[in-house]
Amino acid sequence: MTDTLFLTSADVDDLAEPADYVAAVREGYRQIGEGAPAEPRTKLGREDPRGMLTTYVALLPETGAMGGYTYSSGFGERDAWFMTPLFDAESGEPLSVIDGASMNPFKTGAAGAVAVDALAREDATEVAVIGSGSQARGQLRATATVRPFDAVRVFSPTAENRESFVAEFDDRLDADVRAVESASEALADADVVITATTSSDPVIDDDDVEPGAHVTAMGQYAPGKNELPPELVARATYVPDLRDRATRDAGSFLAAVEAGLVDAEAGIAADLGEVVAGGHPGRTSDDEVTVFDSGGTGIETVAAAHMLYERAREAGIGDTIDFAPASEALTGK
């Protein structure tokens, strides 16, 4: 029998700041870039009631943890449920089970921030955000820890939502944060572009992306759904979170392949781990456009979950539950 720490969403709410997530996730991607294993998502669907079960995993040996995300969504649109199991990478014992809902925007935002730090120009000062929901906010919170932006422009179709976004970040950031009335207006002179929407079609125009800009796209991850125009993917240095994921469910990349604009293999410059670990240079010129395609992996999940687990243990937060090893449970000894 082993004690496993159970952490609720409320337990982990205040355990870490965005910069802490970024540091943990950067370290996780470095390990992947140096050969640690991670698998893209597996998604199982049901038609009646319509819903899906999704999971993805990673093993981070230097962190000493492995696990991932398992979540359900749909099923009559009741809700989504996020569960994060975390195991010891040495003993295999379960360390923690975490309600992953509240950490979701932070760990996903951290992956985007790691990509901005690795791929955006050092002198980037203006950011455009397309979308105003929790994921868009998580991206900006994290990204603001790696670049000192002077200006932030946000667009989403609903004026009330983008004004709410501005109200949250106006005091949080030492930058001019403004809501604008179109994606084109947001992208004008933007050095960094973040798209975080639920749209199944491109939310920005290729012509609006300035030379030298970096784009982080994280809103869609399914064939037939592309948040970015194929032409942008084709002219960019394209970096997904995991190389294997790009050809499975990275809709924007698959649309570019389908249009005959990129090759399914040669069109992928590197994955983020390769860039962070130094195996690929990422950006090589100031005029180069770079794209990070973030669909979610077990890498940021395990990295963030282990950080939260250690902090919770130090703070005495959470409840323990008993897990029986298989030998004990099956033999009764």
> Mind listing the pLDDT tens digit for each residue in 16-66?
999 999 999 999 999 999 999 999 989 898 888 889 899 999 999 999 999
pLDDT at position 74:
86
Whether 179 is in a domain gets the answer yes
Residue 65 lies in a domain: yes
Tokens coding 218: 């994280």
168 and 223 belong to one structural domain: yes
User: Which pLDDT score, from 0 to 100, does residue 166 have?
Assistant: 97
Q: Are 298 and 97 in contact (CB under 8 A)?
A: no
Q: Which segments of the chain have a pLDDT < 50?
A: none
**What is the CATH classification number for the domain harbouring 45?**
3.30.1780.10
Residues 170 and 284 in one domain: yes
Establish whether the linkage from the previous residue to 49 is cis, with ω within 30° of 0.
yes
- Are residue 155 and residue 257 in the same domain, yes or no? yes
208 in a structural domain: yes
Tell me: do 287 and 306 sit in the same domain.
no
DSSP assignment of 103-135, as one string? Answer: THHHHHHHHHHHHHHHHS-TT--EEEEE--SHH
CATH number at residue 268: 3.40.50.720
- As a whole number of angstroms, the distance between CA 230 and CA 159 comes to 28
b/e code 1-18 from CB counts within 10 Å (16+ = b): eeebbebeeebbeebbeb
Same domain, 165 and 285: yes
pLDDT at site 80: 85
CB within 8 Å of 217: residues ≥ 6 apart: 195, 227, 228, 252, 291, 292, 293, 294
Same domain, 146 and 274: yes
**Could you give the number of structural domains in the chain?**
2
Are residues 18 and 45 both part of a single domain?
A: yes
Residue carrying structure tokens 């090759």:
263
In-domain check, residue 313: yes
In this structure, is residue 42 part of a structural domain? Answer: yes
Residues 222 and 302 in one domain: no
Domain range spanning residue 27? 2-104+298-331
Pair of tokens at residue 271: 């994955």
pLDDT of residue 333: 59
Query: Which 3 state secondary structure label does DSSP give 65?
Result: strand
pLDDT in tens, 146-165: 999 999 999 999 999 999 99
Do residues 78 and 43 share a domain? yes
223 Cβ contact partners less than 8 Å away, ≥ 6 residues apart: 249, 251, 254
81 lies in the same domain as 154 = no
Whether 111 is covered by a domain: the verdict is no
Single pTM value for the model: 0.95
What pLDDT, on the 0 to 100 scale, is given for residue 255? Answer: 95
Co-location of 190 and 66 in the same domain:
no
Same-domain pairing of 283 and 321? no
